[in-house]
Structure 1
Amino acid sequence: MSLTASVWMLFFVGLWGRTKPLDNGLARTPTMGWLHWERFMCNTNCDADPDNCISERLYMMMADVMAAEGWREAGYQYVCIDDCWMSKSRDAGGRLQADPRRFPGGIKKLADYVHSKGLKLGIYADVGTSTCAGYPGSLAHYDTDAQTFAEWEVDLLKFDGCSMDTTLLEEGYVNMSKALNRTGRPILYSCEWPLYEWPSQKPNYNTIAETCNQWRNFADAYDSWSSVKSILDWTATHQDIIVPSAGPGGWNDPDMLVIGNFGLSRDQQESQMALWAIMAAPLLMSNDLRSICRHSKELLQNRHIIAISQDELGKQGYRTAKVDHFEVWERPLSQGWLAIAVLNALEIGGPRRFSLKAAPGWKTCTPLCNITQILPQYEEVGVQIGHQVSVNPSGTALLVIMPISMKKHDQRFLKMQWSEKQTLL
């Protein structure tokens, strides 16, 4: 590799220093699982809609599917409850309690069931006086609620930020983090802290990363391409601020994957999956796994994309170029590989071609790269001095490249393919 290319790779891989992450041993790679909110929202009418209301039945069914249909083996570990699971008041001892009609066995029974499937259970609470849907919040109850979740053997807490004075957000989130750690149970801590702080001030990502395992920055994901685009645009606009905080132990969370629902075309589903992997984002699906279509299931379980998501180097990718209505997003991977996503931002016309030589990361190819295309279809392209990809409107081509010099000691890599490299991740 030439000096120029070596310096470029060093710059690219180590562009930002990492802040100190929360040291609870969790989220060493981005979280993977299922979360009810976008698809099922606050549906509590179990009399009229027993299969889709927020009840222990829903989570048990999702756990059954995740264990039976390859989701667990693909890496999806968490079955996560969102808002609307609680009773409207605490019990006589001041503890949170599940709605007794919809969760007759209580959360501990549900956790035992989910664990019996080889999965983990996530739960939801709020840093303020009430949740976003009006159920009891955790303000002034942090230690009690943390201990309750630990006794129930919960594995993840999503901690929202409704009904809270923004000047007290930091104190509240830090106090709950400490309370969770004091329980002695490993509970992954998913925060909404910067989401609620951005309207009034720039969040302190050093403190956030020391406090949380993942954190939301921007608006909820909706089942639409405009929503996904707005999240990507916000992330790219603020990447110089948010990317340095991400890495093993703590991740920027652009919110749920809505793949398998109603609002995204096939190409747009591929774009969300590819770019969430590039962003080292938690992969938390919000869909109905009981009725998901074959293509969406194959996309969500694609081992090549998941390998990028879970890469051990733990570097978040970012947007590196905008060229002729294409967006280039790149993520450095372990052992010197590079993932490149090329998004066709146009929503009109037909497929358009993009030369990888226009991607900033291509500068590492000296003079060759070994290329594997993952989306829109898998292809071992092989060793190339250049390559063009065809990308549909609002679609994304996802590739992995390995720079190759022609020095003798590099010849062993010429036949090494992406599928072999995954065994090293």
Structure 2
Amino acid sequence: MRIIAVFVLLLSGIVVTPAQALDNGLARTPPMGFNNWNAVRCDVNQAFMRKIADFLHTRKIDGRTLQQRGYNYVNIDDCWALPQRAQDGNLVVDRAKFPDGIDGMANYVHAQGLKLGIYADSGSRTCDKKGFPGSFGFEKIDALQWARWKVDLMKYDNCNQPADDNYERTVARYTAMGEALLAAERETGQKILYSLCQKGDRGISPFPWSPQIGNIWRTTTDIRPQWPRIKMIIGKNIPLHKWAKPGAFNDPDMLEIGNGELTQTEEQTQMSMWSIMAAPLLIGTDLTKASEEDLKILANDDAIAVNQDPLGKQGEQVSNKGGLRVLSKPLANGDTAIALYNETDSAATISTNAREAGMLSIARYEVKDLWSKKVTYSSGTISAKVPAHGTAFFRVKQVG
């Protein structure tokens, strides 16, 4: 499959090698932060993004801020630009929304030790119905502009594609931007995390080309704060573990914790499953309106530690019995994360054992529940009564 990707690049006249984007040194663990789309959609503006940056930087949950826990990207989604480019081809910031410009917004978040993300589209116009300028044919101009603005992440969507779009042209479009970002880095020194948002549109799979040219890539259609959607996305993302590694991660879309339509059990499931699947943890709710319970879910240090483990492994499913799933993820210090995930509509007992989960066969294991924080000991069996739509999440240590 690697040969196919190289052939596509040669046809498009681009000389970048497929693995080059992964050598940018970014996303050694899944990125964490915030994206405004699910909170305010096209009503994004400077005041709101500053408010979120301030919240990440200053609001303490159990003694520490979300920024201190690793949430450091503040990502602006669609609708930040004016509908037309300038005469020189550059994108124009909507100054009614961002009076200090995107560079001013970058300066603001950087002063707090945070990072700024921006949104663009690989077609002629962006996805919002107002249709802001896309970057197709303007890749070098736009990448250099973002780099000069000191943008740290760029999310690249896939609307309004050319009429003759197909697999090869999709790969060429996304690869062209990847090369443009690297060229902009060479000119300015500004590294930009490349977030691909092709989503498998028109039946074009995001594999194997996305992991070769980007840092993270969407694996499913857009998320919504509804259990059937969350369940579907988890099911689609679970089998993709072989593609994940430091610098390159599957992205099943934003965290919906706090958006109001999920139960606390379902919110804990999303945090648990995104953590064991090594998915980006990008908050999609207005944090200033989130409940203390929601904030505590997002601030779960044990879940975050599993997500940010330096091995960069995505948890692998070791069993699935009628929707009662077991996932296992090896961790850098020799521990193993275990998720007992119940996607069904009834409570059930889910069990696994050390051998099935890929651990060494020894006499004794320490089992920490990452939600209750209770520690127990086991001779090899890991089991829990899991509520409907719930996930029991454990860190297992071999102790003798």
* TM more than 0.5: yes
Match of 1:173 in 2: 174
Match of 1:137 in 2: 134
Is 1:97 aligned to 2:97, yes or no? Answer: no
Match of 1:186 in 2: 191
Is 1:318 aligned to 2:313, yes or no? Answer: no
Describe the shift of the 1:393–1:204 C-alpha distance in structure 2 as closer, same or farther (beyond 3 A): closer
1:300 to 289, 298, 303: 298
SS at match of 2:275: helix
Q: Distance in 2 between matches of 1:357 and 1:310?
A: 24
Match of 2:146 in 1: 149
Distance apart, 1:20 and its partner CA: 8.1
8 Å contact from structure 1 (residues 86, 96) kept in 2: yes
SS at match of 1:272: helix
Describe the shift of the 1:362–1:148 C-alpha distance in structure 2 as closer, same or farther (beyond 3 A): closer
- Name the aligned partner's letter for residue 245 of structure 1: W
Residues 58-97 of structure 1 mapped to structure 2, 5 A cutoff: 58-69=48-59, 70-97=65-92
Match of 2:111 in 1: 116
Distance apart, 1:177 and its partner CA: 0.8
Residues 24-423 of structure 1 mapped to structure 2, 5 A cutoff: 24-42=24-42, 53-69=43-59, 70-133=65-128, 134-165=131-162, 166-167=165-166, 168-184=169-185, 185-196=190-201, 199-205=202-208, 207-236=209-238, 239=239, 242-323=240-321, 325-348=323-346, 351-357=347-353, 360-361=356-357, 364-375=360-371, 377-404=372-399, 406=400
8 Å contact from structure 1 (residues 170, 193) kept in 2: no
Distance apart, 1:323 and its partner CA: 2.6
Distance apart, 1:21 and its partner CA: 6.6
Q: Distance in 1 between matches of 2:322 and 2:123?
A: 46
SS at match of 1:389: strand
List per-residue Cα deviations over 1:361-398 (Å, max 9, x = no partner): 066342332211113x1112135443432222111100
List per-residue Cα deviations over 1:152-183 (Å, max 9, x = no partner): 11110001011113322111111111111111
Range moving further from structure 2, 243-252 or 305-314: 243-252
List per-residue Cα deviations over 1:96-121 (Å, max 9, x = no partner): 11112111221111111111111000
8 Å contact from structure 1 (residues 21, 250) kept in 2: no
List per-residue Cα deviations over 1:21-76 (Å, max 9, x = no partner): 7110100000000001122122xxxxxxxxxx311111011001110110110100
Describe the shift of the 1:20–1:113 C-alpha distance in structure 2 as closer, same or farther (beyond 3 A): closer
Q: Distance in 2 between matches of 1:89 and 1:195?
A: 28
Q: Distance in 2 between matches of 1:40 and 1:365?
A: 50
Q: Distance in 2 between matches of 1:202 and 1:208?
A: 9
8 Å contact from structure 1 (residues 34, 285) kept in 2: yes
8 Å contact from structure 2 (residues 340, 351) kept in 1: no
8 Å contact from structure 1 (residues 371, 384) kept in 2: no
8 Å contact from structure 1 (residues 321, 359) kept in 2: no
Describe the shift of the 1:186–1:363 C-alpha distance in structure 2 as closer, same or farther (beyond 3 A): closer
Distance apart, 1:218 and its partner CA: 0.8
8 Å contact from structure 2 (residues 231, 343) kept in 1: no
Match of 1:9 in 2: none
Describe the shift of the 1:289–1:359 C-alpha distance in structure 2 as closer, same or farther (beyond 3 A): farther
TM-score for both structures, normalised by structure 2: 0.87
- Name the aligned partner's letter for residue 350 of structure 2: F
SS at match of 2:125: coil
- Name the aligned partner's letter for residue 162 of structure 1: C
Gaps of 5+ in 1: 1-18, 43-52, 407-425
Q: Distance in 1 between matches of 2:244 and 2:87?
A: 41
SS at match of 1:172: helix
8 Å contact from structure 2 (residues 342, 390) kept in 1: yes
8 Å contact from structure 1 (residues 143, 180) kept in 2: yes
Q: Distance in 2 between matches of 1:128 and 1:385?
A: 52
Match of 2:16 in 1: none
**Identity of aligned pairs, percent?**
35
Count of residue pairs the alignment pairs up: 367
8 Å contact from structure 1 (residues 21, 248) kept in 2: no
Distance apart, 1:324 and its partner CA: 5.4
- Name the aligned partner's letter for residue 170 of structure 1: V
Range moving further from structure 2, 224-233 or 384-393: 384-393
Q: Distance in 1 between matches of 2:359 and 2:27?
A: 32
- Name the aligned partner's letter for residue 151 of structure 1: R
List per-residue Cα deviations over 1:245-283 (Å, max 9, x = no partner): 211011000000000111110000000000001110000
Describe the shift of the 1:195–1:38 C-alpha distance in structure 2 as closer, same or farther (beyond 3 A): farther
